[in-house]
Amino acid sequence: MAKYWVANNPNSEINDAQAQKIAADAASAIVDLTDSTTGSASNTCNDNTADTKDDLASIIAKVNGILAALRTHGIIAE
């Protein structure tokens, strides 16, 4: 039976059936969010209604950063 490593980590050995499921899940790629808020991304979300666009832009930037990291490490499809 074939064995595989997840993200080149020998401590995360999986079998063929698990690898096929990961590949199938990764094949349905998660796309980046599109930021059309015209807000400015930052590291802070507040309760000021006037800053809602900036807060959304910040969340979108963080999610897209997470997605990029997952793709870089082969956890999700490109």
Return the closest-CA partner of residue 53 out of 38, 72, 68.
38
**Residue ranges per structural domain of the chain:** 3-72
CB 5 within 8 A of CB 75: no
Average pLDDT in the 45-74 region? 84
Local structure of residue 37 (DSSP, 8 states) = S
pTM: 0.50
Residue 71 φ/ψ region, left for φ over 0, alpha for ψ in the -120 to 50 degree band, beta for the rest: alpha
SS3 5: strand
Tens of pLDDT, residue by residue over 44-59, are 877 777 788 888 888 9
- Displacement of CA 40 from its chain's centroid (Å): 21
